[in-house]
Amino acid sequence: MGTTTSPTNVEDALEALASGARVINGGTDIMVPINDGRDNVESWLNLRKVKSLHHIEKSGEGLRIGAGVTFATIETELADVAPALAQAASTVGSRQIRNVATIGGNVASASPAGDSLLPLLVYDAQVELTSLRGTRSIALNEFFVGPKRTVREFDELLTAITINDLRGSQHFAKVGTRNAMVISICSICARLDHERGTARVSAGSVAPTPVLISSAEKALLSPQGSAEFSRLVVEASSPISDHRATAEYRRHALGILAERVHRKLWQETR
Amino acid sequence: MSIVRLTLDGKSVELDTSANSSLLRAMRDAGHTRAQGACEQGECGSCLVRIDGIVQNSCLVPAAICDDATVETVASLINQDLADAFVKHGAVQCGFCTPGFVIAAEAALASATELTHESVRERLAGNICRCTGYHAIIEAVLEVSQLRRSSTR
């Protein structure tokens, strides 16, 4: 018989997790294959009542975002401090999806198309994993190992995303078949911090995981570098053809997005 | 199977459910058919309900996690002015998508921001209609938005 555990604190959640229950909070991703009969759940670990997972804490130049924070909250509350993340959040599904879909779910699901993953990569975010054995923190860049695969162990709960530094101009862009409700065909995020001379760029839906593209950072730091930047971003991508788009279209669209993002960031910094 | 007890439109109900059953399926299997089911993947919005105050797709929530929840369907959430505007503008044709559109529209109308043609389209982007063509629905929502703003002034 199926059981459902609805703990109110992380400690109780970890006990249920270690016994093999399936984690659910928003449910917007996990329920689709279940409705389709392609997945089967015996018991649920419902995180909706674990209040401590639903907080955003600001600290210095950084943030600690609880895994249960929804995209609706991020979209409104982080628009000023983390604009690229807020932009990405606002493109996730519909209003009713964003009302419940969480950032922790997006990260743990590790889709190559996960919208929030790109800004988190350019923020050099860390993933906090908690188990009965303790807590560890791992760079998001090292968290993904393949499509929908991460280094998270089965008894570890993704409890928070931490970011040390949000400074710099930043922009997120994605291409899809509609202006709303789309899984990205390709996406890009870039951050340019003039004062410190640092740049980061990430891309989605163009590799087995969302990727940081360090080879294009130097071109992002050059105001005249948009064509070079675009070329390097495309060169670093390895898209596939699938039911959403061909690899050729993805490379083409990614190049255009890269050029636009470069121009936009330099316009903002002038 | 296990029993989930919740409040549905103000009444206590019991739903017999398995871990894999969405709230939508559990409600409909028990004869509570105000939420419609179509895509069952969060694309069409026809199954919208409000659970503990949050508007969401009932197809994407396991019934099993809804024990003790307060669930509201279109029957609890529609106001007469919006119903009248839907009729006036011909925003209903076959009616299948209407409960979902009404819930999304009432949530948009309840938000503090002033609605524009563009913002209504954005707020209703997760609801699909295959017959009216959206125009009439958007007009109805905009009219109610103006009516409610002028009446509170």
pTM as predicted: 0.96
- Say if residue B48 is in the same domain as residue B103: no
Distance CA A32, CA A48 (A): 18
Please list every residue in chain B whose beta carbon sits closer than 8 Å to the beta carbon of residue A27: 60-62, 65
- Say if residue B136 is in the same domain as residue B92: yes
Partner residue opposite B20 with nearest CB, options A40, A93, A95: A40
Is CATH 3.30.2130.30 the classification given to domain A169-269?
no
Q: Which residue has the higher pLDDT, A46 or A2?
A: A46
Q: Where in chain A is the domain with CATH 3.30.390.50?
A: 169-269
Measuring CA to CA, which residue among B105, B111, B103 is closest to residue B139?
B105
Distance CA B76, CA A44 (A): 29
Domain boundary among B27, B43, B75: B75
Nearest CA in chain A to B121: A180
Task: Work out the average pLDDT over B121-147.
Answer: 94
What is the pLDDT at residue A2?
A: 67
ipTM confidence: 0.96
Q: CB A94 to CB B41 under 8 A?
A: no
Strand-pairing partners, residue A190, are A171, A201
- Say if residue B71 is in the same domain as residue B82: no
- Say if residue B61 is in the same domain as residue B85: no
- Say if residue B71 is in the same domain as residue B109: no
Q: CB A94 to CB B126 under 8 A?
A: yes
Measuring CA to CA, which residue among B77, B37, B31, B76 is closest to residue B60?
B37
Q: Are A5 and A46 in contact (CB under 8 A)?
A: yes
Nearest CA in chain A to B123: A95
Please list every residue in chain B whose beta carbon sits closer than 8 Å to the beta carbon of residue A40: 20
Which CATH number characterizes residue B61's domain? 3.10.20.30
Please list every residue in chain A whose beta carbon sits closer than 8 Å to the beta carbon of residue B41: 32, 35-36
- Say if residue B58 is in the same domain as residue B115: no
Please list every residue in chain B whose beta carbon sits closer than 8 Å to the beta carbon of residue A100: 54, 56, 60-61
Interchain contact A24–B (C-beta under 8 A): yes
Please list every residue in chain A whose beta carbon sits closer than 8 Å to the beta carbon of residue B125: 94-95, 178-181
Minimum distance, in Å, between the CA of residue A210 and any CA atom of chain B:
23
Q: Report chain B's mean pLDDT, rounded to a whole number.
A: 95
pLDDT of B92 > 60? The answer is yes
What is the extent of the structural domain holding B66? 2-75
Residue type, B7: T
- Say if residue B41 is in the same domain as residue B11: yes
Please list every residue in chain A whose beta carbon sits closer than 8 Å to the beta carbon of residue B48: 96
Q: Exposed, middle or buried: residue A5 (CB in 10 Å: 0-12, 13-18, 19+)?
A: middle
A53-163 has which fold? 3.30.465
Partner residue opposite B61 with nearest CB, options A3, A27, A178: A27
User: Do the strands B2-8 and B70-72 form a parallel or antiparallel pair, or are they unpaired?
Assistant: parallel
What is the pLDDT at residue A270?
A: 65
- Say if residue B87 is in the same domain as residue B104: yes
DSSP class of residue B58?
Answer: G
Domain boundary among B11, B45, B75: B75
Number of domains in chain B: 2
Q: What is the pLDDT of residues A147-191, one digit of tens each?
A: 999 999 999 999 999 999 999 999 999 999 888 888 999 999 999
Partner residue opposite B45 with nearest CB, options A4, A44, A94: A94
- Say if residue B87 is in the same domain as residue B118: yes
Q: What is the pLDDT of residues B20-70, one digit of tens each?
A: 999 999 999 999 999 999 999 999 999 999 999 999 999 999 999 999 999
- Say if residue B60 is in the same domain as residue B92: no
pLDDT of A96 > 80? The answer is yes
Q: CB B126 to CB A26 under 8 A?
A: no
Q: Which two tokens stand for residue A16?
A: 């249920």
- Say if residue B67 is in the same domain as residue B85: no
Please list every residue in chain B whose beta carbon sits closer than 8 Å to the beta carbon of residue A42: 19
Q: CB B19 to CB A46 under 8 A?
A: no
Q: Which of B60, B66, B72, B141 would best serve as a mutation to test chain A binding (most A beta carbons within 10 A)? A: B60
Q: Where in chain A is the domain with CATH 3.30.465.10?
A: 53-163
What is the pLDDT at residue B132?
A: 78
Q: CB B65 to CB A100 under 8 A?
A: no
Domain boundary among B60, B75, B90: B75
Q: CB A35 to CB B54 under 8 A?
A: no
Q: CB B65 to CB A4 under 8 A?
A: yes
Q: What is the pLDDT of residues A106-158, one digit of tens each?
A: 999 999 999 999 999 999 999 999 999 999 999 999 999 999 999 999 999 99
Q: Exposed, middle or buried: residue A163 (CB in 10 Å: 0-12, 13-18, 19+)?
A: buried
Sign of torsion over alpha carbons A111, A113, A118, A119: negative
- Say if residue B116 is in the same domain as residue B53: no
How many other C-beta atoms lie within 10 A of the C-beta of residue A118?
30
Q: Which residue has the higher pLDDT, B1 or A238?
A: A238
